Amino acid sequence: MNKYNETLIACEHCDLLQVKQPLQLGQIATCPRCGSRLYFNSICSPMSMLALTLTALILLLPANLYPLLSMTMIGSTETASLLQATLKIFHEGNYFVALLIFICSTIAPFLMLLSLCCASFIISFNIQTQWLKKLLKWTDFLTHWSMLEVYLVSFLVALIKLVDLADIELGVGLVCFSLLMIINSLILSFFDASSYWQKVPIDAIS
Ligand SMILES: [Zn+2]
């Protein structure tokens, strides 16, 4: 290979410069110095990513609207969905906490999945548009605000504490939320941002 055609890549953790080599499907290149992941060739094509993000977007609705659980205590039964729980926290005066939960568990995942879904659609159908650059930037930004797993873990901790105090029945919302979290984790581990960025028209990069 002509050395001027070689693509160099720097390790994000230890700054070691290396020549980028073509990888087989599913292969991961790691840094020989610190062992961090450098780049990979995802087994998930943009079309598969489109299907995953669409499934996650559909699941987001019942995960927010259907009851996560129903709780029976001293003869009375109460059900609560994710949205109802957030509203309850808001009405109790914890505006900042309610807003944070709403952003991290609903708004950010929705916008992140929507951005990635649109970007996957554009790449899958080879549509030439300047929007791809914006969508990839939004996806990168929103990934840091999407914290579904944090919400689920805190919910499970609260659930374990309540088990002795009340009869708990798990709801459809929790099943949808758990599925959503699994699909979201798959999306984040399969999403190869660098291969998506290679599809951005060169005049859109400023
Ligand atoms: Zn390194």
State how far the Cα of 180 lies from the Cα of 24, in Å rounded to an integer. Answer: 29
Quote the ligand 1 centre to 193 CA distance (angstroms). Answer: 19
Residues 107-113, mean pLDDT to the nearest whole number: 94
Range of 33-47, 115-129, 147-161 with top mean pLDDT: 115-129
Percent of the chain topping pLDDT 70: 95
Ligand 1 centroid to Cα of residue 24, in Å, is: 21
Contacts of 185 (CB under 8 A, 6+ apart): 149
Give mean pLDDT, residues 190-203. Answer: 85
Only one residue has tokens 């927010």, namely 64
At 54, the pLDDT band (50, 70, 90 cuts) reads very high
Query: What's the CA-to-centroid distance between 124 and ligand 1, angstroms?
Result: 32
Distance 13 CA to ligand 1 centre (A): 5
Computed over every residue of the chain, the mean pLDDT equals: 85
Q: Where are the domains of the chain?
A: 3-40, 46-204
27 CA to centre of ligand 1 in angstroms: 17
Rounded to the nearest angstrom, the distance between the alpha carbon of 201 and the centre of ligand 1 is 30
Average pLDDT over residues 61-74: 85
Q: Highest mean pLDDT: which of 67-76, 78-87, 183-192?
A: 183-192
pLDDT score of 6: 67
Ligand 1 geometric centre to CA of 185 (Å): 24
Q: What is the distance between the alpha carbons of residues 146 and 149, in angstroms, rounded to a whole number?
A: 9
- Measured in angstroms, how far is the CA atom of residue 34 from the centroid of ligand 1? 4
Q: What are phi and psi of 70, to 5 degrees?
A: -120, 140
Cα 44 from Cα 51, distance rounded (Å): 10
**In the predicted model, what is the mean pLDDT of residues 54-79?**
86
Instruction: Calculate mean pLDDT across residues 168-184.
Output: 89
Is residue 14 within 8 Å of residue 36, measured between CB atoms? yes
Q: Which of 23-37, 69-83, 130-144 has the lowest mean pLDDT?
A: 69-83
Query: 31 CA to middle of ligand 1, Å?
Result: 5
Radius of gyration over every alpha carbon of the chain, rounded to an integer in angstroms: 21
> Which range, 62-71, 167-176, 183-192, is most confident?
183-192
Span 2-25, average pLDDT: 79
The closest alpha carbon to 166, from 69, 66, 68, belongs to 69
- The predicted model scores a pTM of 0.81
Confidence tier at 91 by pLDDT (50, 70, 90): confident
- Give the chain's end-to-end CA distance (angstroms, integer): 29
Q: Smallest Cα–Cα separation from 59: which of 179, 147, 144?
A: 179
